[in-house]
Amino acid sequence: MENLILSEPLFWSLVTACTAGFIMLSYDELRVQKAWPAGRFYRSNISKLIGGLSIIGSVGFSIARLSLLYGLGVFVLGFVLGLVLSLIWKSNVQWIAIILLAGSWIFQFFI
């Protein structure tokens, strides 16, 4: 009973990192389609690299530390939340992704 997803702070921290990764990875494509502005960070390939590493790292870490189902949950929830946040916050999602990623890294040091 204690291994419920809702009671696992590491799971939610990894979902946050994966969400930020999906936002960083997909923002360049989305901004071209929607004609949104982009900062220097998102115009370079470094955002795609950090986003991809964040997705791979968060899913891989959740599989290694928790289980395969948690890894699948991190991937699916990260994708859905990244899409929803991108469509709601539009061009402001650039800053939200950076804050989410930094927050999830900092939070993981305290759990």
* Domain definitions of the chain by residue range: 9-104
pLDDT of residue 6: 59
pLDDT digits (tens, 9 = 90+) for 5-38: 556 888 999 999 999 999 999 998 998 898 899 9
- Which of 102, 92, 98, 99 lies closest to 30 in space, CA to CA? 92
Per residue in 60-93, pLDDT tens? 999 999 899 999 999 999 999 999 999 999 999 9
Comparing 8 with 1, the larger pLDDT belongs to 8
- How far apart, in whole angstroms, are the C-alpha atoms of residue 62 and residue 24? 20
Q: State the pLDDT at residue 1.
A: 41
Q: Secondary structure of 22-62 in the HEC alphabet?
A: HHHHHHHHHHHHHCCCCCHHHHCCHHHHHHHHHHHHHHHHH
